[in-house]
Chains A and B, each alone.
Chain A
Amino acid sequence: NAGVTQTPKFQVLKTGQSMTLQCAQDMNHNSMYWYRQDPGMGLRLIYYSASEGTTDKGEVPNGYNVSRLNKREFSLRLESAAPSQTSVYFCASRNRDRGAGGAYEQYFGPGTRLTVT
């Protein structure tokens, strides 16, 4: 059981380039999320997908697009990267029902460190 996996781990882009961050989970979770984390700050929600076939904006969606490819995969795309998008990106997933511990916790991947020059 790998949990939540993200690729790539590191990426350097030039301003204006595009790229897609990949995320997959093998826990059969319904909901998936994309966050960004900037130095000295908490995580901010970019987009989420409550269930397969649906996506919704979070707190900071501008400059990003997402695709819920299937129940396992949720990708984040930067169409024209900007230096302000330099950050660490985390994908997370959560089951619709309370987990074994009775919690609604989100499970996080290891992150993608993106630098835009």
Chain B
Amino acid sequence: GESVGLHLPTLSVQEGDNSIINCAYSNSASDYFIWYKQESGKGPQFIIDIRSNMDKRQGQRVTVLLNKTVKHLSLQIAATQPGDSAVYFCAEGSGGYNKLIFGAGTRLAVHP
């Protein structure tokens, strides 16, 4: 079946730097994408989403970019903080938004 994948399993950054987490998706019919953050021992927490009719969406310190031509999604975190250390998942949805397909996740490690 089609699935969502990630380019980098682990990303290490210095505190204060910007982080970019990448994700490739394969289902061209997906029309909705979400980024989740999961801290150790907790459930995933919604960060930001984007519809397929958009290229960019900004939140607080986060920006999601969608490139439908190459089926690529990225999450940019500005001024990365120690509290941003977590595993980040991208997920794609379609078909009435009842089902999400998750990628394997990228671990973000923020060093002081």
Contact = CB atoms under 8 A, between A and B. Distances in A.
Given A42-B102, A45-B99, A48-B98, A109 B89 contact: no
Contacts of B101: 45, 59
Given A104-B93, A104-B97, A44 B102 contact: yes
Most chain B CB neighbours (cut-off 10 Å) among A42, A56, A108, A110: A42
Interface of B: 1, 4, 32, 34, 41-46, 48-49, 89, 91, 93, 96-105
Interface in A45-92: 45, 48, 50, 56, 58-59, 90, 92
B49 A42 contact: no
Interface string A26-57: 00000100000000111111001010000010
Contacts of A44: 102
A106 B99 CA distance: 10
Contact of A110 (B43, B48, B49, B105): B43
A106 B45 contact: no
A48 B96 CA distance: 13
A117 B101 CA distance: 29
B99 A48 contact: yes
B108 to A, nearest CB: 15
Nearest to B102: A42
Interface of A: 4, 31, 40-45, 48, 50, 56, 58-59, 90, 92, 94, 103-111
Contact of B43 (A45, A50, A108): A108
Contact of B46 (A4, A50, A105): A105
23 contacts: A4-B43, A40-B104, A41-B104, A42-B89, A42-B103, A43-B44, A43-B102, A44-B102, A45-B100, A45-B101, A50-B96, A50-B98, A56-B98, A59-B1, A90-B43, A92-B43, A103-B49, A104-B32, A104-B93, A108-B43, A108-B44, A110-B43, A111-B43
